[in-house]
Amino acid sequence: LQRVAARRGITGYEVDAKYDATANTVSGDMVANFTPDKDTDRVVMRLWPNGPDSASHGGKIQLSAASVDAVPHELQLANATTAFTEAPLKADKKIRFRVHFTITLPRGTDDRLSRIGDTVRLGSWLPLLPWEPEVGWALDPPTSAFAEASLSVHANFDVRLSVPEGLQVAASGTDVGGYHFRLDGAPDWAAVIGKFTGVHGSSSEFPITVSIEQSMSDAPAPYLARVEASLRELAKRYGAYPWPAFNLVLTPGMHGGIEYPGLVMQGPNTNARTTPHEVAHQWFYGLVGNDQGRDPWLDEGLATWAEGQINGSYSEFRSRSIPGDARNHLGEPMTFWDAHEGSYYRGVYVQGLQALAALGVSPAAVDCALARYVAANAHRVATPKALADALATVAPDAASVLARYGAQRVS
């Protein structure tokens, strides 16, 4: 199985950040080496620490000292989760954009950005530039659900994270020394800071680590076994695992799991169903990105499909009923699901699997089409049409079947 090379000319981020436990902040500088493929009049940054869940627990991010090619630029807020600076940029001309950030950590949030005692979950924290090639800036509003609303645009990350003595860091990518991490062609970069007990896996191609926050009673070995089996089964179906390392980190004060490239965050007692699902996101969200605000079913439906294939739960998912307010609304954006939160899981995750099952071909044939979808869209932002096109190679009426379930923009 071949790894698909990352796109050339994608944004490169250099981040130098420091966790100050006394001040309860993570602050630092982010440099984006950014080349738009169309003219634009601004640089946009997403401020997810200002999103509703984080903000209601005291979390926030503040930016300062923005510059474009070393020339200072004034920062403006479009809304709480979107900042921009005016700058006329030319297509295919690279700029070096720098900004300073200070994040005040929300405490006790059951979500991706949270501080619980000594432990810090650092997910969706950087003020990344949501530029979608051939499209432009993606400005989806934040969601109040236990979900993500960002566009996953692939970039190369070079992140230095300094933490107080005695704390460890588990993070996306390769540690090239002293918590200096590199990860290429990935939609985001995340870390967990804390005190862990860990076990290491035995893949010959890349390191696998399960880290468990030291106060928790979960045993690491069963998690490691399920991670290894899931990685193996998924690679067989959808192509090689795309990152240089895999980390699963269990922390308290959290239910379920949250995926980042090469790093999965899970709460206690989550091995049975959450582990294979989050590992599947390494392909569907990680390797193949999507606009999680506009098309949440693309990554959640496909991760649930993959989970069903490798975890023996396919038949059960197929027979689950879909609530009336979600039925045939598969393709709705997060703004719809915020108002139908009780139906989000079945309407997007379960119904996504059911729409693929309704294609009327074998699960192996669907998997074959999904492998084509991965190969054709690796390190890119996929659209519903890209999925329908791949599925049409095994089920010619795929677009109309998906549309019947409420998928939008499939043809």
In the complex with Zn ion, the residue whose CB is nearer, 184 or 300, is: 300
CB of 179 to Zn ion, least distance (A): 28
Which region among 11-19, 301-309, 355-363, 382-390 touches Zn ion (by CB under 5 A)? Answer: 301-309
Check: CB of residue 118 under 8 Å from CB of residue 22.
no
Contacts with Zn ion, 254-293, as mask; x by CB under 5 A: ----------------------------------------
β partners of residue 258: 265
Sign of the torsion formed by the C-alpha atoms of 314, 315, 318 and 320? negative
Q: What is the DSSP letter of 342?
A: G
The reply on whether position 334 binds Zn ion by CB under 5 A is no
In the complex with Zn ion, the residue whose CB is nearer, 28 or 142, is: 142
In the complex with Zn ion, the residue whose CB is nearer, 158 or 300, is: 300
CB of 283 to Zn ion, least distance (A): 12
In the complex with Zn ion, the residue whose CB is nearer, 65 or 272, is: 272
CB of 212 to Zn ion, least distance (A): 21
Q: What is the DSSP letter of 253?
A: S
CB of 286 to Zn ion, least distance (A): 11
CB of 74 to Zn ion, least distance (A): 38
In the complex with Zn ion, the residue whose CB is nearer, 282 or 377, is: 282
CB of 279 to Zn ion, least distance (A): 11
In the complex with Zn ion, the residue whose CB is nearer, 303 or 394, is: 303
Ordered DSSP codes for 20-71? ETTTTEEEEEEEEEE--SS-EEEEEEE-GGGSHHHHTTT-EEEEEEEEETTE
Output the CA–CA distances (angstroms, integers) from residue 88 to 7, 46, 93, 236, in the order listed: 24, 19, 11, 46
* Interactions with Zn ion, residue window 40-99 (CB under 5 A): none
Angle, helices 384-391/363-377, rounded to nearest 10 degrees: 130
CB of 355 to Zn ion, least distance (A): 16
CB atoms within 10 A of CB 176: 11
Which region among 9-17, 155-163, 302-310, 394-402 touches Zn ion (by CB under 5 A)? Answer: 302-310
In the complex with Zn ion, the residue whose CB is nearer, 250 or 303, is: 303
Phi/psi of residue 5, each to 5°?
-70, 150
β partners of residue 43: 85
Secondary structure of residue 380 in the 3-state scheme: strand
CB of 281 to Zn ion, least distance (A): 6
Which region among 88-96, 115-123, 204-212, 299-307 touches Zn ion (by CB under 5 A)? Answer: 299-307
Rounded CA separation 105/26 (Å): 7
Residues 6+ apart with CB under 8 A from 19: 25, 26, 120, 161, 162, 163, 164, 167, 193
Number of residues that bind Zn ion (CB under 5 A): 2
The reply on whether position 303 binds Zn ion by CB under 5 A is yes
In the complex with Zn ion, the residue whose CB is nearer, 85 or 274, is: 274
CB of 29 to Zn ion, least distance (A): 32
Which region among 298-306, 332-340, 360-368, 396-404 touches Zn ion (by CB under 5 A)? Answer: 298-306
- With 0-12 / 13-18 / 19 or more C-beta atoms within 10 angstroms meaning exposed / middle / buried, residue 210 is buried
Token pair of 80 as six digits: 């709480």
In the complex with Zn ion, the residue whose CB is nearer, 193 or 348, is: 348
Token pair of 401 as six digits: 């079947």
Residue numbers at the binding site for Zn ion (CB under 5 A): 300, 303
